[in-house]
Structure 1
């Protein structure tokens, strides 16, 4: 289908901000544009305002002077609806009142030719309801621009039950010819953007209403971790709470007061109190005061022992150098001896029982852990303070600003993304739009960092439904109910399963190290023995023999290095991945003598991508004097192809 020819005049009814913006777009695309408004002088004022915007665009170098002049000559304010006769396309942009629009379209049908296409810019009203009483309802469709229309690229082309397919095709082609990105939507409440976006605001207000998280913290996590351009409260203040609430109420009412779309009582109170946002001097935030600071953990150097990452992507460990790995995933865990860092799956930290002796500390979702600047964490209410501080210190050491949250189901970003993804999937399953059009609409219409359907699929629909189920159990079963189609999608999802139930990682580490050690004749020839092994850790001993002493009467430094290197090798191979050394540094701090029993204790500090870092401390173990450090070693490793034990034995 071809777009409407440039020679065909376009009419715009309604000379407010949106109507004027649409008129500017059509004129810039080469059409004669006739602007009508029922208020005296409004159309002329709108045309004059467009002239001024075009002039500013020339001054800023965004438009050539000739182009601006040509567009200006094509703009005309008209005094009567009858002056729109002869227009091939008329776009309505009047007040969002169904009866007003119905009356207007009845008038347009009377004055416009039978081949003219009549489009409504409504953002929330039913196209069918607007066109229902017209003789030619098939020529009516939605053409929903986003404000400011000359700037934002998205246009929703909305088909009602009676809209002719050729009319929708014509509008799609015309929007594209005007430099816009059209998406197709069925005439259902909220179309795409206003429907799918509801949880972005709804979950933020729900968190604020809980009294456990403040607005600045919610916004900071959504932006600095979730990758959203603006936080929910900042954006609602900008839009205006009256406008935002009106859309929420419209969608809620249209869906029969479905609890998924229940408006916020707190937002209703803001509107009732006249706190509408920036335009009224303040809403959630005061317009003339500095923004409150989000909750931020104080700097700490607490860091309990070594930390070992595992899983697909290694989450926050991507910050430490695992370039090219998927880093916005929920398929990882990072353990120290006392703490297990895990991505939230919707459950609270207190509900996680798979950490064994470790304290489970949950990490909120991030769009990309490699580039996120802030992360939110939560621990069980009675978790040891030093364990929480250790998690904070570890994450701060990776460069994150850390927010310690209450132990809430779904935390902040995860619950927001899960509900957005579920709402996007519901729109697709309900036939509102294709998945591609839903994602395109949300990226362009709301500047989301990722399309919510694509995001949900990437995270795994089983993860999405898991978060919803946890929220339903803890808060509101109706609000977070999972649709049958989404449940089926999750059941066929090949997503990652959390490692809680894998009880034999230590056994795999033992078998892998035994296989490696059996082939290491050099270490065994020096009398070395593996004393202890677990994933990422190893303790190897050696007794200093007479033939190991140098001319100064102390153990040869090369043999101390060999002991440290052997412990490094055992620790690095405990994951059943063959690793080889890339480099090492050793510092000698004290001598060892004949008869001394030496212990090399190796801890992996980092493992991600194909690289690893391991620290080894070599001790002189004396039954009477205790342990004394004699050497410090840091090794760098890389993985090579192959495993140490057969794949079928892996768990």
Structure 2
């Protein structure tokens, strides 16, 4: 087994595309003798030139010295054939996501490299066990999944298949660290960690617009302003491309035997089939042409703000919002004033039935997340429009207001609970350690908190309650709580505790 910190470590990379050249760049900067091979003989040379240009830009930005760039470039070379990788200590395959192609490459590598050479695949979703299935020495094969663009993304998933030897995982983790990445050890599961765990953020957002609860602009604004995500789910899908995220979502859903918690919607498929792939085609969930007019997530109605309101149930944050907006909180219902509530997991319909209040005057406000910039209000069918608008204008005096249709858990509660629940499920099946799940999701997807950290910030008992309410109201096992979450919620333990 190789020493990842050895001065004379020799690395081979197969595939000179964006991923292969990115891996080559961070390896060379990490002091590793790196040889790049591609089936297209000219692609290898083009790849090395691209690496040189990227490194030279680092000199222009003052992030590397010219001497360091020349030293890194000197460590790079092109292999004309796979046989030229015979002396390598480790080889990373980074070619097209095709199982037959990858199996053929690994078969050829077994004929070429020494018995002590480790073989890794940069696949983003194909099972490592399947890639290694026809190999004689499966113990030395693992996944080493980098993220694009490799020089900027610090995470690398080291994927442990059923036959992978522990020392191979240890060596590849050390190699990742030498390349300046943060390694996380992951069990060989469809989508691995990040591509599996990332499904909840987008699929629950898709469910919200499928149900007519909100628009993409409203969902994105809420997740940015109230929950601290850098990008809303629809912005993110348009950026990565519907041709990328739809097939991955479908693959993960099918691989988990159609678990409803991973289900997407017909609109997601329709965009793919229509060629509306996001920014790359000028249209996805949003329009990107010169004449495109961004939709506002803000509700502005311009009626008279409510002067008096009644709180259906005590809620300190809601009372503070009302006071800040300058309205009087009545102690008893006068039969006219808007009725305000801050439900957890309930929709307005269920809340009205449970409490017996007049649904026509009921307006629910989500106070569970950050309300410093935006508040979300929702109402039941049949609501009095004047009453609803008076509350919107009241809160609009102090915050941006997003008004949505009736929903079990508003927008943020639903999406955040589903993100947390899937994180708990990953912990339950032993995909990775709880702390590594959180680390990977923060680094791989730029989440403000990992899913288990998010559960703990919301409180596991409340996350569990949101999911139970949503499951009861909709009758959909999509909201089935993970047993990991249920047990910790009932016992009063943190979600991240083993």
Normalising by structure 2, report the TM-score: 0.89
Q: Secondary structure at 1:35's aligned position in 2?
A: strand
In structure 2, do the counterparts of structure 1 residues 45 and 319 end up closer, same or farther at CA, with 3 Å as the change threshold?
farther
1:293 is aligned to 2:296: yes
- Higher share of residues assigned strand: 1
Contact 2:206 2:264 in 1 (8 A): no
1:217 is aligned to 2:218: yes
In structure 2, do the counterparts of structure 1 residues 26 and 311 end up closer, same or farther at CA, with 3 Å as the change threshold?
farther
The structure with the largest alpha-carbon Rg is 1
User: Aligned equivalents of 1:246 and 1:385: distance in 2?
Assistant: 42
User: Aligned equivalents of 1:63 and 1:313: distance in 2?
Assistant: 53
User: Aligned equivalents of 1:476 and 1:104: distance in 2?
Assistant: 47
- Higher share of residues assigned helix: 2
Number of aligned positions between the proteins: 480
User: Aligned equivalents of 1:205 and 1:239: distance in 2?
Assistant: 15
User: Aligned equivalents of 1:184 and 1:97: distance in 2?
Assistant: 23
1:396 is aligned to 2:396: yes
Q: Secondary structure at 1:479's aligned position in 2?
A: helix
Alignment of 1:447-462 (within 5 A): 447-462=446-461
The aligned residue for residue 113 of structure 1 is 114
Contact 1:309 1:317 in 2 (8 A): no
Instruction: Output one character per residue of 1:195-223: Cα deviation in whole Å (capped at 9) or x when no partner.
Output: 11111111121222223422111111111
Unpaired stretches in structure 1, ≥5 consecutive residues = 322-333, 496-651
- Two-structure CA RMSD over aligned residues (Å): 2.7
Larger displacement relative to structure 2 (427-436 or 459-468):
459-468
User: Aligned equivalents of 1:414 and 1:216: distance in 2?
Assistant: 17
Q: 1:37: Cα distance to partner?
A: 0.8
User: Aligned equivalents of 1:342 and 1:350: distance in 2?
Assistant: 12
1:381 is aligned to 2:381: yes
The aligned residue for residue 417 of structure 1 is 416
Larger displacement relative to structure 2 (197-206 or 469-478):
469-478
Q: Secondary structure at 1:449's aligned position in 2?
A: coil
Unpaired stretches in structure 2, ≥5 consecutive residues = 332-336
Contact 1:9 1:87 in 2 (8 A): yes
Q: 1:402: Cα distance to partner?
A: 0.2
Contact 2:306 2:338 in 1 (8 A): no
The aligned residue for residue 103 of structure 1 is 104
User: Aligned equivalents of 1:19 and 1:313: distance in 2?
Assistant: 54
Contact 1:27 1:72 in 2 (8 A): yes
Alignment of 1:172-571 (within 5 A): 172-288=173-289, 289-298=292-301, 302-305=305-308, 314=317, 317=320, 336-337=330-331, 338-339=337-338, 341-353=340-352, 360-364=362-366, 367-369=369-371, 372-397=372-397, 399-475=398-474, 477-493=476-492
Contact 1:304 1:387 in 2 (8 A): no
Q: 1:294: Cα distance to partner?
A: 2.2
Q: Secondary structure at 1:411's aligned position in 2?
A: coil
In structure 2, do the counterparts of structure 1 residues 269 and 365 end up closer, same or farther at CA, with 3 Å as the change threshold?
farther
User: Aligned equivalents of 1:374 and 1:429: distance in 2?
Assistant: 34
The aligned residue for residue 82 of structure 2 is 81
Contact 1:237 1:277 in 2 (8 A): yes
Q: Secondary structure at 2:150's aligned position in 1?
A: coil
The aligned residue for residue 59 of structure 2 is 58
User: Aligned equivalents of 1:419 and 1:149: distance in 2?
Assistant: 28
Contact 2:13 2:91 in 1 (8 A): yes
Contact 1:175 1:182 in 2 (8 A): yes
Q: 1:392: Cα distance to partner?
A: 2.7
Greater RCO (Cα-Cα under 8 Å, separation 6 or more)? 2
In structure 2, do the counterparts of structure 1 residues 349 and 57 end up closer, same or farther at CA, with 3 Å as the change threshold?
same
Normalising by structure 1, report the TM-score: 0.69
Instruction: Output one character per residue of 1:267-294: Cα deviation in whole Å (capped at 9) or x when no partner.
Output: 1111111111111222111222243222
